[in-house]
Every structure is written in structure tokens, then in C-alpha cells.
Amino acid sequence: MVYYLPVLGAVALAGGTILERVVLRMKKVGVELYQTASFLAIVISMLPLLYFFWRLDSGAMEPKNIVIFFWLYSFQP
């Protein structure tokens, strides 16, 4: 199983690269829109796995930490 994971990752990366080239050429989609949409798709697909594989500490939902998160997020270019 240890050897299959890197191979599976390489195949997924190659498939994503081919899909990206096809979408950017054929559909006339901008690079910024494609990268934003693919990032949001990855985040949305990972949200259900968050509950099972990682844990959310109670400290993450404190108002102070949420304010810091949005403060850092607001200064991103």
C-alpha cells in the first residue's frame, strides 16, 4: 500500500494537468478563474473528511482566534 500512494498521486496530478490544459484552451477560461474554482472544489470536497481524519479543537472556535483569522485573511493580496 505504501508504494501505491505515490503512484496514485502522480496519476492524479497528471490527470489534473491534462484537464487544466483542456479547460484553459477549449473553454477559454481565465487562469485566475480556473485556479480559484479548482481551489474551492478541493476545499469543498475535503470538508466532509475534516470530521473523520482531523479534529477540531474547541480553541479554534474562540472569538479571539476567529478575529485573528479574518484579520489575516483580510490582508491577503
pTM greater than the 0.85 cutoff: no
Enclosing domain of residue 21: 4-74
**In total, how many domains does the chain have?**
1
Q: Are 20 and 26 in contact (CB under 8 A)?
A: no
- Residue 28 identity (one-letter amino acid): K
Does residue 14 carry a pLDDT above 90?
A: yes
The DSSP secondary structure of 4-50, one letter per residue, reads HHHHHHHHHHHHHHHHHHHHHHHS---HHHHHHHHHHHHHHHHHHHH
* 34-64 pLDDT per residue, tens: 888 888 988 898 888 777 777 767 777 788 9
Does residue 1 carry a pLDDT above 80?
A: no
pLDDT at 28: 81
In angstroms, the CA 37 to CA 28 distance is 14
